[in-house]
Amino acid sequence: MIRWLRLIATATIILSLIGLGVISGLFLVANSGWIPVTIPPWLQGLFGERPHDVWLPALIGGWLAAAVLLAGLVLWSMFYVWRRRQYEALIGRLERELAKLRNLPFTEPAPLEDLPEQPSLAAARVMNALDDDGVDAR
């Protein structure tokens, strides 16, 4: 089901872009004249005071290219932030796992395998005798 939705969405986007390209191409062919562009006062020192003639399809194409580049930059930055958050979450999970493994001897100590399962009565008598004599076992 999801594959069909993705296929339909992709086809819709491709057909929309083709239609937009045809419409903009026809619009640019119909309006292929030169227009005067007045320079704003804050840019007159760089370009001069006289109006410049600009080919209208180039002007519209420049605006469309700027809009597409801006949209691409926004989408790329959103993807970058999303991937960075994924990486930071992964690092956080790995750090928590590492801390858990480092504290493993304290939270789940290993069994004392070198001690016998049942206490020895003889060893208990010897230790008791040492404690009674006041002899330090260290």
pLDDT of residue 110: 67
Top pLDDT among 55 and 12 is at 12
3-state secondary structure of 41: helix
Three-state SS for 66-122 is HHHHHHHHHHHHHHHHHHHHHHHHHHHHHHHHHHHHHCHHHHCCCCCCCCCCCCCHH
The whole-angstrom separation of Cα 119 and Cα 113 is 13
Q: Give 138's pLDDT tier (boundaries 50, 70, 90).
A: low
- What confidence tens digit (pLDDT) does each residue in 16-29 have? 999 988 887 787 77
The whole-angstrom separation of Cα 73 and Cα 81 is 12
Q: Encode 8-20: b = buried (16+ Cβ within 10 Å), e = exposed.
A: eeeeeeeeeeeee
Taking all residues of the chain, what is their mean pLDDT, rounded to a whole number?
Answer: 85
pLDDT of residue 76: 96
Assessment of whether the complete model's pTM goes beyond 0.95: no
> Is the pLDDT reported for residue 51 higher than 60?
yes
Top pLDDT among 132 and 19 is at 19
Taking residues 17-45, report their average pLDDT.
Answer: 84
pLDDT of residue 136: 55
Domain boundaries, the chain: 1-30
Tell me what percent of the residues of the chain surpass a pLDDT of 90: 32
Top pLDDT among 41 and 109 is at 41
Closest by Cα among 55, 70, 64 to 23: 64
